[in-house]
A and B are shown apart, each in its own frame.
Chain A
C-alpha cells in the first residue's frame, strides 16, 4: 500500500471514568488520579466484585429523555461527538449541505444482549410480559445511525464491531473515506457502555482483576472494565480551509493473528503486520515515534505479547497504558486512546502509567512511571482485540 496525505483532526471529544470531557480526563490523568469502584448501575450474584470505571453519576446524557430513546452506548457516542464537533467549531446547522460520514466502533452497542428483556422472555414468553420497548430501543440505537439521525447527516455510516480494536479501526476507515473523496468530514471513534453481560463475560474468562488494574506490572491479574466514548473530527483540506488542526492522522494499519479467538498470537504476528502497514502508510520510521499509547489491558497475555512486539520494533520508545485511568472501554478504547494520544502530543507530555509499580522480568520494557515530557512530533496508538484483530494509528502534532 502507498502513502497518503495527512488527515487533519480538527476536534476531539472524550468521556470516560477519568472524566466527563477531554480536558477533565486529561486533568485526572496528569494528576495521576483514578476512580475505580464496584459497579453502581447493575448488580450480580457473582461472589467476587471486580472494580470498574464508570462515568460519574452527575453525567447527563445529551438527550432530555435520557435512556428511554437510545441505549446508553449511543448516548455516550453522541455526547462525545457533540463535544468534538464543538471543539472543531461545527454546529448541527453548519454541517448542512456537507458530506459528513459517521464511523463508530462498539461492542455492547450492537449486541442484542438485553438481559432484562430476556429474563422476562425466559419466564414463559408472552406470558412473561417482556418489555418490547427494550427491543425497540435497541433497534433505534445503532451508534453511527444515532449520530447521523440526530445531526441529520446524509453521508456513509458504519458501525464497526471488531471487539476491542473497533474504535481504532473506525478512525482508520473514516480516514479512508476522506482519502477516497467520499466525504468532506468524518465523525469517527468508539463508544461502549458498561454492561452486566460483559462484566459476566470477562469474569468467566478469568481475566478481570479484583483490584485496580496494573498494566505491565509483575503482579498484573487482568483488566478493569470501563465505559465511555472517544470521537475525532476528521476534515478534508477543502472544508478545513485555514482552520488549525489539533493533530494529523498520518497512517493506519490493521491485520489478523489467525491464531485464537481470545488470545493474541504469542509472537504478536498480527500486531507486527499492523505496525508495518501503519508505518508504510504514514511514511514514517519507528525511530520517529516519540511515544506509544499501548493497548495495555493488564492481562498477563496481552501485556506480554504487546511488550515483546514494542521491544522488537520500537525499542526504547516511551509507552503508557491509559487503561488504569479509564478501565478497558472495549469498543470505545481505540477512540478514547486516539484522543489521548493527540492531546498528549499537543500538550507535550505523557501521563504516568498508573498501576505499574514492579517490573516483570519477563517483559523487556516498562511503561513511564511519572508524567514525562514528549520529545517529538509523532506518536502511535495500538489496539489488540478478541478474534486476533490488531489496529494501529499514527498521529502527528497539530498546529492548533
Chain B
C-alpha cells in the first residue's frame, strides 16, 4: 500500500528541522563532523525542544528520548497536526542500539555502588521502547506503538509495520521515526574494529575502504494513506530480503540514494548491485549509524518535495559507481537502498 509523507522532523549534526537539513543537502557540506578527542563525530542537538515540551517534563528524560521527542514534535508541526486529535496516531520507532548511554549509566549504578544501589530511573529508561513511551506520554498518542531493533535493517523493517497499520486501518497517521545516539563505549568498539578508519573523512563511494565516522540523530515522518495528496511524495513499496539467499534485482528506472556510509563490509554489495549506475549518497552529512537509513529516507522525501535530487556530498567516484549529477525530479522514482551485514537489504521505493 502506498503511503504519503506529510511531515518531517529531524535533528542531526547539521542542526534541526527540515530547513537545516535541506540547507545541508544543498551545500553538500560535511563540516558538521566535529572533532572529539582527535576523532570526528557527528553529534545532534536538541535545540528547540522546549517549544514543544515543558522543561519540567524533561527532567528524567535522557538525550536519546529528547532527540526522539524533538523529531516527533517537529514532524507533527510540519504536518500541521500539533493541535489535532492524536488518538489514531501510531508510533513506530526504529533504532539500531536504543538508549546506549542510559544503558551504561544503569550498569554504572550497580558496578560502582553495588546491586542494591541499581538505579530504577536508568533501568526503566534503558528499555528499548522507553523513547516511544515518552512520545506517547507527552503527545498523548494512544494508538499502537512499536519499537524495532534490527541494526541497519531497523528502518525498512519498522516501515513495513507502519505500512501495515495504515493498510489495515488501525491508525490514520503514523509517527515513524529512526533514532540512534553516539556513545563512548560504542565509539571505543568502533575504533577497536575499524581502527584509523574512524578518523574520517567519510567517503561513501570508496566502497572498498573503511571510512565510516560515527554519528547520531533522530528523524521522524508523519505517514498517512495516500488518499489526500502528499507534502513530500509517497512511499510506494518496502522490500526486505537477503541478497546472498535470493539475489536482488534493482528496478531499472529508479534513481538510487544508497545507504553507503563508509563500511567496507557493505560496500561490495553496492558496487555489485549498482554495477556502474550512478547513485546519490549523503552519509557525510550525518555520519554512520543504523538509524541513518531514516536520514536517507528524509533526503529522498525532501528531494521529492523539492523536485530536485541534490548532489551527493562526496563526489569522489569509486571507479565503479559515481555520484549522480544533481537533477530535476519531475516524474522520477527514487529508491533508498540499504545493505546490512551478511547480505541483508532494505529497498524503499518512493515517487512524487
List A residues at the B interface (Cβ < 8 Å).
1-2, 44-48, 107, 110-113, 115, 118-119, 121-122, 125-126, 132, 135, 139, 142, 144-145, 148-149, 152-163, 169, 173, 176-177, 179-180, 182, 197, 200-206, 254-262, 269-270, 273, 277, 385-389
Let me know if B231 is at the binding interface, CB within 8 A.
no
Which of B14-22, B204-212, B240-248, B281-289 touches A?
Answer: B240-248
Contact B97 A161 (CB under 8 A): no
* Additional A-B contacts beyond A145-B342, A389-B129 (16; CB < 8 A): A110-B98, A111-B128, A142-B150, A142-B151, A156-B157, A158-B161, A161-B128, A179-B168, A197-B107, A201-B123, A205-B120, A258-B139, A261-B137, A386-B133, A387-B129, A387-B133
Known: A256-B143, A258-B141. A161 touches B129 (CB 8 A): yes
Contact B143 A204 (CB under 8 A): no
Contact A261 B160 (CB under 8 A): no
Contact A139 B151 (CB under 8 A): yes
Let me know if B145 is at the binding interface, CB within 8 A.
yes
Convert B81-107 into 0s and 1s, putting 1 for each residue whose CB lies closer than 8 angstroms to a CB of A.
000000000010000011010011011
Contact B107 A113 (CB under 8 A): yes
Contact B129 A163 (CB under 8 A): yes
Contact B143 A255 (CB under 8 A): yes
Let me know if B250 is at the binding interface, CB within 8 A.
no
Total CB contacts across the A-B interface at under 8 A: 203
Convert B212-251 into 0s and 1s, putting 1 for each residue whose CB lies closer than 8 angstroms to a CB of A.
0000000000000000000000000000111001100000
Residue B344 contacts which of A45, A107, A145 (CB distance < 8 angstroms)? A145
Convert B61-75 into 0s and 1s, putting 1 for each residue whose CB lies closer than 8 angstroms to a CB of A.
000000000000000
Enumerate chain B residues within 8 angstroms of A277, measured Cβ to Cβ: 170
Enumerate chain A residues within 8 angstroms of B271, measured Cβ to Cβ: none
Contact A386 B149 (CB under 8 A): no
Residue A1 contacts which of B161, B168, B241, B341 (CB distance < 8 angstroms)? B168
Known: A111-B98, A132-B193, A269-B142. A261 touches B164 (CB 8 A): no
Contact B129 A201 (CB under 8 A): no
Contact A144 B124 (CB under 8 A): no
Enumerate chain A residues within 8 angstroms of B133, measured Cβ to Cβ: 256, 261, 386-389
Closest Cβ of chain B: how far from A206's Cβ, in Å? 8
Which of B42-50, B110-118, B298-306, B331-339 touches A?
Answer: B110-118
Closest Cβ of chain B: how far from A333's Cβ, in Å? 14
Convert B138-172 into 0s and 1s, putting 1 for each residue whose CB lies closer than 8 angstroms to a CB of A.
01111111111111010001101100100111100
Known: A118-B104, A157-B240. A162 touches B116 (CB 8 A): no
Contact B147 A156 (CB under 8 A): no
Contact A161 B147 (CB under 8 A): yes
Closest Cβ of chain A: how far from B266's Cβ, in Å? 13
Complex: A120 Cα to B246 Cα, angstroms? 41
Complex: A388 Cα to B143 Cα, angstroms? 11
Complex: A139 Cα to B193 Cα, angstroms? 12
Known: A201-B118, A254-B144. A157 touches B168 (CB 8 A): no
Enumerate chain A residues within 8 angstroms of B139, measured Cβ to Cβ: 258
Known: A112-B100, A200-B115. A388 touches B150 (CB 8 A): no
Known: A201-B106, A203-B115. A176 touches B168 (CB 8 A): yes
Let me know if B273 is at the binding interface, CB within 8 A.
no
Complex: A388 Cα to B97 Cα, angstroms? 21
B:180-205 near A, CB below 8 Å: 185-186, 188-189, 192-193
Residue of B nearest to A277 (CB): B170
Let me know if B125 is at the binding interface, CB within 8 A.
yes
Closest Cβ of chain B: how far from A367's Cβ, in Å? 27
Enumerate chain B residues within 8 angstroms of A273, measured Cβ to Cβ: 142
Complex: A180 Cα to B160 Cα, angstroms? 11
Closest Cβ of chain A: how far from B155's Cβ, in Å? 11
Residue B144 contacts which of A206, A256, A260 (CB distance < 8 angstroms)? A256
Known: A1-B170, A122-B111, A387-B130. A256 touches B142 (CB 8 A): yes
Contact A204 B144 (CB under 8 A): no
Contact A157 B145 (CB under 8 A): no
Complex: A149 Cα to B341 Cα, angstroms? 11
Contact A152 B150 (CB under 8 A): no
Enumerate chain B residues within 8 angstroms of A388, measured Cβ to Cβ: 133, 136-137, 145
Enumerate chain A residues within 8 angstroms of B341, measured Cβ to Cβ: 139
Residue of B nearest to A330 (CB): B127
Contact A256 B98 (CB under 8 A): no
Enumerate chain A residues within 8 angstroms of B127, measured Cβ to Cβ: 107, 163, 386-387
Complex: A270 Cα to B153 Cα, angstroms? 29
Contact A257 B188 (CB under 8 A): no
Closest Cβ of chain B: how far from A74's Cβ, in Å? 13
Known: A112-B97, A386-B127, A389-B129. A149 touches B164 (CB 8 A): no
Complex: A144 Cα to B132 Cα, angstroms? 21
Residue of B nearest to A46 (CB): B115
Residue A160 contacts which of B104, B134, B147, B246 (CB distance < 8 angstroms)? B147
Contact B137 A119 (CB under 8 A): no
Known: A132-B192, A158-B148, A160-B147. A386 touches B129 (CB 8 A): yes
Can you name 20 A-B residue pairings with CB atoms under 8 Å? A44-B110, A48-B116, A110-B128, A112-B97, A118-B185, A119-B111, A122-B111, A135-B189, A158-B150, A160-B147, A161-B147, A162-B128, A162-B145, A162-B146, A197-B106, A200-B110, A205-B124, A255-B144, A256-B142, A388-B137
